[in-house]
Structure 1
Amino acid sequence: MKMIRSLRKQQVVLALLVLLMLVTILVGLSVGASPVSINRLLPTILGHGSFEDNFVLFSVRLPRILITMLSGMALALSGAVLQGITRNELADPGIVGINSGAGVGVTVYFLFAPINVETFAYVIPLIAFAGALITAVLIYVFSYTRGEGVQPIRLVLVGVGFSMALSGLMIVLISSVDREKVDFIAKWLAGNVWGTDWPFVLALLPWLIILVPYVLLKSRELNLLAMSESTAIGTGVVVNKDRILLMLAAVALAASAVSVTGGIAFIGLMAPHIARALVGPRHQQFVPVSILIGGWLLLLADTIGRNLVQPSGIAAGIMVAFIGAPYFLYLLLKEERQSGI
Structure 2
Amino acid sequence: MIVFVLLALILAAGYYSITNGVYPITFKQFFESIFRMQQQEDIDLVIFELRLPRVVLALMIGFGLGIGGAVLQGITKNGLADPAILGINSGAGAFIVAYMLLFQGTFSGDQLLMKLLMPLIGMVGGLFAATIIFLLAWNRINGLDSQRLLLTGIAISTGFGSLSMFLSLKMKAQDFEMATVWLNGTIYNATWTYVVSILPWFLLVVPFIIIKAYKLDLFRLQENVMKGLGIQVEKEKWLLMAGSVILVSSCVSVSGSIGFIGLICPHIARLLVGLKHRHSLLVCGLVGMLLLTVADFIGRSVVAPAEISVGIILSIIGAPYFIFLLVKAKV
- Identical columns (%): 37
5 Å-filtered alignment, 1:267-278, equals 267-278=261-272
1:7 corresponds in structure 2 to none
2:4 corresponds in structure 1 to 15
5 Å-filtered alignment, 1:199-238, equals 199-238=193-232
2:34 corresponds in structure 1 to 45
5 Å-filtered alignment, 1:1-341, equals 12-47=1-36, 48-113=38-103, 117-337=111-331
Letter in 2 for 1:232: M
Q: Once the 2 structures are TM-superposed, how far is the Cα of residue 195 of structure 1 from its aligned partner?
A: 4.8
Q: Once the 2 structures are TM-superposed, how far is the Cα of residue 118 of structure 1 from its aligned partner?
A: 2.6
Q: Once the 2 structures are TM-superposed, how far is the Cα of residue 229 of structure 1 from its aligned partner?
A: 1.3
- Contact 1:87/1:227 (<8 A) preserved: no
Q: Once the 2 structures are TM-superposed, how far is the Cα of residue 113 of structure 1 from its aligned partner?
A: 3.8
- Contact 2:74/2:216 (<8 A) preserved: yes
- Contact 1:139/1:158 (<8 A) preserved: yes
Deviations 1:25-48 (A, max 9, x none): 110110112111223211111112
Aligned positions, number: 326
Q: Once the 2 structures are TM-superposed, how far is the Cα of residue 146 of structure 1 from its aligned partner?
A: 1.9
Work out the CA distance in 2 between the residues paired with 1:137 and 1:98.
Answer: 10
Question: After the TM superposition, which segments of 4 or more aligned residues of structure 1 sit over 3 Å from their partners?
Answer: 113-116
TM-score, scaled relative to structure 1:
0.93
- Contact 2:112/2:193 (<8 A) preserved: no
TM-score, scaled relative to structure 2:
0.96
- Contact 1:102/1:131 (<8 A) preserved: yes
- Contact 2:295/2:314 (<8 A) preserved: yes
Which is further off, 275-284 or 116-125?
A: 116-125
Q: Which runs of 5+ in 1 are unaligned?
A: 1-11
Q: Once the 2 structures are TM-superposed, how far is the Cα of residue 193 of structure 1 from its aligned partner?
A: 1.3
Letter in 1 for 2:327: L
Work out the CA distance in 1 between the residues paired with 2:20 and 2:114.
Answer: 30
Deviations 1:45-104 (A, max 9, x none): 111241111110001100010001100100001000000111111111011100000000
- Contact 1:86/1:226 (<8 A) preserved: no
Work out the CA distance in 1 between the residues paired with 2:47 and 2:229.
Answer: 51
- Contact 1:75/1:268 (<8 A) preserved: yes
- Contact 2:138/2:145 (<8 A) preserved: yes
Letter in 1 for 2:222: S
Work out the CA distance in 1 between the residues paired with 2:170 and 2:71.
Answer: 38
Which is further off, 114-123 or 48-57?
A: 114-123
Work out the CA distance in 2 between the residues paired with 1:174 and 1:134.
Answer: 20
- Contact 1:104/1:169 (<8 A) preserved: yes
- Contact 1:70/1:295 (<8 A) preserved: yes
Q: Which runs of 5+ in 2 are unaligned?
A: none
| RMSD across aligned positions (CA) | 1.3
Q: Once the 2 structures are TM-superposed, how far is the Cα of residue 194 of structure 1 from its aligned partner?
A: 4.5
Letter in 2 for 1:130: V
Which is further off, 212-221 or 195-204?
A: 195-204
